[in-house]
Amino acid sequence: MIPNLNLVPFVSVDHMMKLVLHIGVERFLSELAGYVEDDFRRWPAFDKTPRVASHSAEGVIELMPTSDGEVYGFKYVNGHPKNTREGRQTVTAFGVLSDVANGYPVLMSEMTILTALRTAATSAVAARYLAPQGADCMAIIGNGAQSEFQAMAFKALLGIRKLRLFDIDPQATQKCMKNLHGLGFEITACTSTEQAVEGAHIITTVTADKQCATILTDNMVGAGVHINAVGGDCPGKTELHHDILLRSDIFVEYPPQTRIEGEIQQLPADHPVIELWEVMTGQVSGRRDPRQITLFDSVGFAIEDFSALRYVRDQLRSVGLYQNLDMLADPDEPRDLFGMILRAQAAQTPPVAVGG
């Protein structure tokens, strides 16, 4: 018998926050980015499938599975833009890693915070290959829940210290400034997107409306800029004007998914795009020219969640911030599941009180 076959380590929201604080936000993002990059570099090794989505009038619930043949992972994630009206998160998530050899889960984790971290880490990894040399100023259009994570990841991985913030809601900008205060940034609050992108080498768009919006128009995007388009991530939700796409070299995670969900849903299905993993393995160039406009059309792919869960799993042994869940039936004899229930009954002497 292997002991404790019934137990699965679970990382709660509280433990995830403590884990992030224990490691430090910037180090966490840098190390997580390493895991993301490692997995992008072995991209062909993964089973890949577009997410399995269940759409409703209010939003979407998705399952995002993948496997490298040794480890299997999936994320459950919802997207409900109206949730904030009643104090709920637009996006919540949790995920599981399992051992492919026996199918047993080896980790369950909250992934609302972890998704925010992996999205930012992936953006920053992409920007290391795509942003102009010497970039030190980033505009962030949309100052909601993802904005600070983007700022921290670009500071940790690219040394970005100058931020130019804009949101149609000035309170969101104030919240973002307050949260980033004292963390080493030089921040300018702007009153328009036009003002925010002035002098920025990197433009991050991370707005949340579930509709096609034009956050960036063509005239706002000058030569040499890298656009990190994070907010357009489902059918009918885009942020960039069509003409920007035509002037950009477009980099994507997994084309079959991005063509449905990303900015490129505005383009013909055969419009050329470059797969990010091919840039990371050196098969294709990233930025070739200081005047080139590069666009990372980010929608989030299952492999990034897989990387994030792998990273968390690898921290648990030394850090210990988890609880064990009694999640898997573990009878003494595998064929004797019913007998396990009978033995639980026999053990109830005196009978267990089972009231509410």
Which sequence positions are flagged as catalytic? 233
Single out the residue of 38, 41, 42, 89 in contact with its own copies (rule: CB under 8 A).
89
d(CA 262, CA 107): 30
Number of residues located near its own copies, criterion CB under 8 A? 95
3-state secondary structure at position 204: strand
For the segment 232-261, give every residue that binds its own copies (CB under 8 A): none
DSSP-assigned letters across all residues of 42-94: TGGGSB----EEEE-SS-EEEEEEEE-SSEEEEEEEEE-GGGGGGT--S--EE
Nearer CB in complex with its own copies: 52/246: 52
Nearer CB in complex with its own copies: 108/225: 108
CB of 248 to its own copies, least distance (A): 28
CB of 12 to its own copies, least distance (A): 4
Which ranges of the chain would DSSP assign to H, the alpha helix? 13-23, 25-41, 112-130, 147-158, 170-180, 193-197, 242-247, 255-261, 276-280, 302-319, 337-346
Single out the residue of 6, 30, 195, 266 in contact with its own copies (rule: CB under 8 A).
6
Count the Cβ atoms, other than its own, within 10 Å of residue 18.
Answer: 14
341 belongs to the binding site for its own copies (CB under 8 A): yes
Residues forming a β-bridge with 305? none
Q: Given the rule CB under 8 A, which of 84-92, 124-132, 192-200, 303-311 is the region that contacts its own copies?
A: 84-92
CA 216 to chain centre: 22
Q: Given the rule CB under 8 A, which of 17-25, 127-135, 154-162, 186-194 is the region that contacts its own copies?
A: 17-25
Q: Given the rule CB under 8 A, which of 4-12, 250-258, 284-292, 305-313 is the region that contacts its own copies?
A: 4-12
What's the chain's Rg over C-alpha atoms? 22
For the segment 41-80, give every residue that binds its own copies (CB under 8 A): 47, 49, 52, 54, 56, 58-61, 63, 65, 67, 69, 72, 74, 76, 78-80
17 belongs to the binding site for its own copies (CB under 8 A): yes
d(CA 238, CA 209): 9
123 belongs to the binding site for its own copies (CB under 8 A): no
Are the beta carbons of 106 and 262 closer than 8 angstroms? no
CB of 42 to its own copies, least distance (A): 17
For the segment 151-190, give every residue that binds its own copies (CB under 8 A): 152, 172, 175, 178-179
Positive or negative, the CA dihedral 126, 129, 133, 134 is: positive
Single out the residue of 30, 90, 195, 266 in contact with its own copies (rule: CB under 8 A).
90
CB of 141 to its own copies, least distance (A): 15
For the segment 102-121, give every residue that binds its own copies (CB under 8 A): 102-105, 110, 112-113, 116
* Dihedral in degrees, nearest 10, Cα atoms 316, 322, 328, 330: 80
d(CA 127, CA 129): 5
